[in-house]
Amino acid sequence: EVQLVESGGGLVQPGGSLRLSCAASGFNFNSYEMNWVRQAPGKGLEWVSYISSSVSTIYYADSVKGRFTISRDNARNSLYLQLNSLRAEDTAVYYCARGGSGSYFFFDYWGQGTLVTVSS
């Protein structure tokens, strides 16, 4: 069974940093592209970042470019998102999502999410 379990969320002050983690199991992690998608409270879905299976390709949404860094450790079956220079508008549930088979940009499995709250 595919499982994605996020951790690392919490309350942080504006300008602060957090590191989110996603532990994957139940599939061959190093064969799949991975993504982070976020959802502000009561709002819709926003894709945040993508990393290819081999780490050769990385994309970011313009809203987080230069502040967030995606990475992965295939030996540990883990995905990460480093969040720096956080703003109030970054407050959201952050989901780890597996890329669809064939390396396409839809998301076939999602974690339960971890809440990041940016507030003073």
Partner 1 sequence: DIVMTQSPDSLAVSLGERATINCKSSQSVSYSSNNKKYLAWYQQKSGQPPKLLIYWASTRESGVPDRFSGSGSGTDFTLTISSLQAEDVAVYYCQQYYSTPPTFGQGTKVEIK
Binding site for partner 1 (CB under 8 A): 44-47, 50, 59, 61-62, 95, 100, 104-113
The nearest distance, CB 111 to partner 1, in angstroms, is 6
Strand partners of residue 4: 24
The nearest distance, CB 64 to partner 1, in angstroms, is 11
- Which residues, at least 6 apart from 52, have a Cβ–Cβ distance to it below 8 Å? 33, 58, 103
The nearest distance, CB 75 to partner 1, in angstroms, is 26
Q: Residue 15 or residue 108: which is nearer to partner 1 going by CB?
A: 108
* 20 closest CA partner among 3, 37, 2: 37
Helix residue ranges, H only, 5-120: none
